[in-house]
């Protein structure tokens, strides 16, 4: 078989961390191989896999020069992404998780929109892929372009990072990351801090309504190991507020980040179907944070959120739920909060049975 040649100066570099996912890896790599964009490279980071993933990666790298393989010890997904950033040659950077897959036009479409709109970040919608079906587009999006100078950091964060914090449905201008020393926090699985750190430097972002990324739902994936996730999110937020970036964080932006972490975590698709005790345990992890009650008071007892509702940055439903939940938390009614969240979870299951945990791959 003739080896597929790559480009010396690719426009896009796609970073793919890999650890023990041999059953899903080929589908992922085939979807990358089928990309309609020609000026592209795929930086594969074998993160100390002990199954057959390494052999699959080596085969693709041998057959196609667009696949660049880096072997390393297990540094976690964020450590792998950082290693990929060091090796990437493209003008734009994308990320794909090894158990997911993408549409053939994904990176061509994101790049075209980024260049046409002169955007630092280009984002698209995505689907949840279960064993027997797929969801429609998860996010409610329309094709649009957002300017930081017009919206301001708080509105920009809530609209485009708060509701959509992941990195794998986006394309980033490499200079945005490199020139500002932006890297992933090693040891934590969330992308929260990356986007908070990007806020002072992003000038423009474009969004596409098309769901071009397939986010595979399976019980054994890292995203569903949620026992320590709440603690990790709070640790990252604390590090942001107390570190060098604190000068960029207004009080309202800090509150928005916290409220988004809390409700976004509790009402995410991954929590649906869990027990009341599960929600209670996660709530206790948040309560251990020394600023928890401060933020509960700000959200439930002041009008900080109402201004965002008036500006149509958040919905009336989101506004009411936030006020209700954090009001209960402020009064120490944690079990009632857990019961409320469990009830919402059950309603979601009844409305969308396809999201039941039994449908995970």
| Domain boundaries, given as residue ranges, for the chain | 12-222, 227-359
Lowest pLDDT segment from 134-143, 226-235, 242-251, 309-318:
242-251
| Residues 38-70 pLDDT 10s | 999 999 999 999 999 999 999 999 999 999 999
Residues 20, 337: Cα–Cα separation, whole Å = 37
Is the CB of residue 128 less than 8 Å from the CB of residue 217? yes
Band (pLDDT 50/70/90 cuts) for residue 4 is low
For residue 334, pLDDT over 70 is answered with yes
Q: Is the dihedral of CA 80, 222, 284, 316 positive or negative?
A: positive
Segment 132-159 mean pLDDT: 84
Percent share of the chain, pLDDT over 90 = 43
For residue 259, pLDDT over 90 is answered with no
Report DSSP letters for 100-138, one per residue. -EE-TTHHHHHHHHHHHHT-SEEEEEEEEE-SS-B-S-S
Sequence-ordered strand ranges (E) for the chain: 12-18, 40-47, 67-72, 92-95, 101-102, 121-129, 144-147, 170-173, 204-216
- CATH number for the domain running over 12-222: 3.90.550.10
Task: Provide the 10 A C-beta neighbour count for residue 152.
Answer: 12
Band (pLDDT 50/70/90 cuts) for residue 210 is very high
Is the CB of residue 189 less than 8 Å from the CB of residue 223? yes
Is the CB of residue 313 less than 8 Å from the CB of residue 155? yes
pLDDT for residue 222 = 45
pLDDT for residue 173 = 97
Max Cα–Cα distance, the chain, nearest Å: 68
Range picked from 81-95, 274-288, 297-311 for highest mean pLDDT: 81-95
| Residues 106-127 pLDDT 10s | 999 999 999 999 999 999 999 8
Segment 189-214 mean pLDDT: 87
Mean pLDDT (the chain, rounded):
82
Reduced to 3 states (helix: H, G, I; strand: E, B; else coil), residue 37 is: coil
| Residues in contact with 218: Cβ distance below 8 Å, sequence separation at least 6, in sequence order | 24, 99, 224, 360, 361
Percent share of the chain, pLDDT over 70 = 77
Q: What is the DSSP letter of 64?
A: B
**Residue from 169, 151, 263, 171 nearest 215 by CA:** 169
Is the CB of residue 24 less than 8 Å from the CB of residue 215? no
Angstrom CA distances, 140 to 125, 137, 205, 276, stand at: 8, 7, 16, 29
Segment 237-252 mean pLDDT: 62
For residue 96, pLDDT over 50 is answered with yes
Beta bridge partners of 70: 45
Segment 173-185 mean pLDDT: 90
Lowest pLDDT segment from 52-56, 120-124, 131-135, 332-336:
131-135
Higher pLDDT, 346 or 266: 346
Structure tokens that stand for 225 in this block: 């190991």
Structure tokens that stand for 28 in this block: 């992922």
For residue 314, pLDDT over 90 is answered with no
């Amino acid at each position: 078989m003739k080896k597929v040649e790559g480009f010396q100066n690719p426009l896009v570099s796609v970073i793919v961390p890999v650890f023990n996912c041999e059953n899903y890896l080929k589908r992922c790599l085939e979807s990358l191989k089928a990309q309609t964009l020609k000026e592209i490279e795929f930086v594969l980071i074998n993160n100390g896999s002990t199954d057959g993933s390494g052999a699959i990666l080596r085969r693709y790298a041998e057959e196609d020069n667009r696949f660049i393989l880096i072997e390393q010890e297990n540094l976690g997904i964020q450590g792998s992404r950082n290693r990929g950033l060091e090796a990437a040659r493209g003008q734009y950077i994308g990320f794909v998780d090894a158990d997911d897959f993408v549409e053939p036009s994904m990176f061509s479409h994101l790049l075209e929109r980024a260049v046409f709109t002169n955007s630092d970040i280009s984002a698209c919608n995505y689907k949840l892929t279960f064993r027997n079906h797929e969801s429609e587009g998860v996010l409610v999006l329309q094709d649009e372009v957002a300017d930081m100078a017009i919206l301001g950091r708080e509105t920009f964060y809530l609209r485009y990072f708060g509701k959509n914090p992941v990195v794998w449905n986006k394309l980033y201008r490499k200079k945005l990351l490199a020139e500002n020393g932006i890297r992933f926090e090693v040891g934590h699985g969330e992308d929260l801090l990356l986007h908070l750190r990007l806020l002072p430097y992003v000038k423009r972002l474009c969004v596409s309504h098309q769901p071009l990324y397939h986010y595979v739902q399976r019980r054994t994936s890292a995203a569903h190991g949620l026992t320590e996730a709440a603690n990790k999110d709070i640790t990252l937020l604390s590090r942001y507020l107390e570190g060098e970036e604190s000068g960029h964080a207004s009080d309202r932006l800090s509150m928005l980040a916290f409220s988004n972490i809390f409700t976004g975590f509790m009402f995410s698709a991954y929590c649906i179907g869990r027990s009341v005790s599960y929600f209670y345990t996660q709530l206790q992890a948040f309560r251990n944070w020394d600023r928890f009650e401060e933020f509960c008071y700000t959200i439930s007892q002041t009008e900080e959120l109402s201004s965002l509702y008036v500006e149509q940055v958040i919905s009336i439903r989101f506004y009411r739920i936030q006020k209700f939940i954090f009001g209960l938390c402020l009064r120490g009614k944690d079990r009632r909060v857990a019961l409320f969240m469990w009830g919402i979870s059950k309603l979601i299951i009844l409305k969308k049975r396809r999201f039941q945990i039994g449908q995970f791959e």
